[in-house]
Structure 1
Amino acid sequence: MPIRDRFDQIPGSAPGVGYTHAITASGQLAFVSGQVALDENGQLVGADDFAAQARQALRNLANVLKRLGATWGDVVRFNWYLVDTSELPILRQIRDEFILPALDGRPAPASTLIQVAGLFRPDCLIEVDAVVAIP
């Protein structure tokens, strides 16, 4: 596996909750474009339902990972874009449903979460992109 080290505990820094401060990797990287809650027909899944949109965005990301020959355990970084950060507890729960089983107890990927005024469509509530270390 190209992921070499995960630095989840850094002296002098607060512990990461659901993320790792830094990850080192070697080999080929893939930079995955932002995924939103559009289904395979381009239709929005979960209008006004953050949980449904988060699940669809992660299903879309899972499809990209599969095409790359990767799994959630190969993701080294996430960028999350939320219209409303009060939805963070829901996002953490859904993120953990998708990602934790693939990590086998290893720390989660590095991560940044940004609250945005809006996404490319006003009915989209979440977008996620990723950097993947190709196995």
Structure 2
Amino acid sequence: MSKQIIHTAKAPAAVGPYSQAVQAPTGKMIFLSGQIGLVPSTGEMVSDKFEDQVKQAFSNMQAVIEAAGGSLENIIKLNLFLTDLGQFGIVNALMAERLPQPFPARSTVGVSSLPKGAQFEIEAIIVV
């Protein structure tokens, strides 16, 4: 897949592992529902540690992407939801480790709560 990265100096530069905008190639758009840090085999939260929940949510998202016939490089847009924006740096570091460049576009939102007491949720749009 060849996605085109859009960047302009007339808007703020990215402050993490994401792009200002991404032009999707021709293909099938797939909208993934949000994933939290649930262990698939048990349906229980992986742990109460924020980093563990982020890693598990990314693994869950990757499993859905692969089931749709894609890979992490097919991500065009991510939406992140955190109950504590003070943990934003952890998410950035883990994203930079797991996602291939060029990075997708991304939004991050602070929320008061998430399902099952999760501290983090991620949703994606992919093109395959």
Tell me the TM-score normalized by structure 1: 0.87
Counterpart CA distance in 2 for 1:4 and 1:115 is: 28
**CA–CA separation in structure 1 for the residues paired with 2:47 and 2:97:** 18
The 5-angstrom pairing of residues 36-55 of structure 1 reads 36-40=36-40, 41-47=42-48, 49-55=49-55
Matches within 5 A, 1:91-102: 91-99=91-99
Alignment of 1:1-135 (within 5 A): 1=1, 3-7=2-6, 9-16=7-14, 17-25=16-24, 26-40=26-40, 41-47=42-48, 49-99=49-99, 103=100, 106-121=101-116, 123-134=117-128
Report the identity percentage.
25
What is the aligned residue count? 125
Shift of 1:96: 1.5
Amino acid at match of 1:73: E
> 1-side partners of 2:115 and 2:46: how far apart?
15
1:74 is aligned with what amino acid?
Answer: N
> Which ranges in structure 2 are unaligned for 5 or more consecutive residues?
none
Equivalents in 2 of 1:109, 1:71: separation in Å? Answer: 13
CA distance in 2, matches of 1:24, 1:92: 22
TM-score normalized by the length of structure 2: 0.92
What is the distance in 2 between the residues matched to 1:66 and 1:114? 26
**Which consecutive unaligned segments of at least 5 residues does structure 1 have?**
none
- The ranges of structure 1 where at least 4 consecutive aligned residues each deviate by more than 3 angstroms after the TM superposition are none
